[in-house]
Amino acid sequence: MAEQITSEIFQVGGGGYTSPEDAAIYLINYGGHAALVDAGCGYAHERLLRNVRECGVSPEQIDYLLITHCHFDHTGGVSLLKEQLCCKVVAHELEADYLQQGDDGVTAASWYDASIRPFTVDRRLSGAQEEISLGGRSIRAIHVPGHSPGSVVYLTESEGLRVLFAQDVHGPLAPSLLSNRKEYLHSLRLLISLEADILCEGHYGIYRGKKEAAKFISSFL
C-alpha cells in the first residue's frame, strides 16, 4: 500500500504501510531517479519494496537513502536496503559515527529492545544547508538540531509546491538522544519560515497547505 502525495512523491512506509514501529518512509521519483526519505526499522523490508513498486518505481532505481536523523525507527532498515540496492546513504556528519558504529543508545535502538546493524554513510552532510541533485532536480538538506544533534529536513519542489520532509517535528527530547531544547525551539521557528505547502512528518501524517503545516509546527513551540 502506498499513498500519492504528488505525482512524484509518495508515502510507502510507516504504521499502516509497513510495520507499526516504523516512522514514515517517503519516496521521491524524479524522472526515474528515486530516493527514499528514511527507512523504518527494517521489520517489513519486502512489504516496503512492494509499496515502492506500486508507485511505478523499481527498487533498483533508488539512488539515495536520505536520512533525517539516526533514530532506529528511521534507520533500522538502512543496512538491508543498502546491501540489496547499492544506494548511497546521506546523513549529517554529527550522527554518521553513531550509525557506522552501531550505537544502540544514541540511535534509540534500545528503546525498541533492538540492536541497529551498522552501515556506512556515503555522504556526510555538514553546515547549515546542502543541495542534493536527483534526476537533475534539487533537494535541499537543512540542518535542524534539537531532537537530535544531526537532525535534517529535506525541502524540494513538486508540481509547483514546496514539499518539506520534517520527520520528528514533535520531538521527543531526551538526554539519551543528546537532545537540546534551545536548538529544538530555534529549529521549529526555522521550519515555519520555510513556508512549506506540504509537510511530510514522521509520525503525525501529511499536512497540506501553508497554514496547516505552520499550525502543526507551531503547536510544539
Alpha helices by DSSP H, listed for the chain, are: 45-54, 72-75, 78-85, 93-101, 181-193, 210-218
Alpha-carbon distance of 88 to 62, in angstroms, equals 9
How far apart are the C-alpha atoms of 19 and 39, rounded to whole Å?
11
Count the Cβ atoms, other than its own, within 10 Å of residue 14: 24
Helix, strand, coil percent values for the chain (each to nearest 5): 30, 30, 45
Looking up cell 506500486 gives 54
Residue 167 has what pLDDT? 84
Range(s) of the domain holding residue 214: 3-218
Q: Say what the pLDDT of residue 90 is.
A: 98
pTM value is 0.97
Number of domain units in the chain:
1
Q: What is the pLDDT along the chain (221 residues), one digit of tens a residue?
A: 899 999 999 999 999 999 999 999 999 999 999 999 999 999 999 999 999 999 999 999 999 999 999 999 999 999 999 999 989 999 999 999 999 999 999 999 999 999 999 999 999 999 999 999 999 999 999 999 999 999 999 999 999 999 999 988 888 999 999 999 999 999 999 999 999 999 999 999 999 999 999 999 999 99
CATH code for the domain in which residue 186 is found: 3.60.15.10
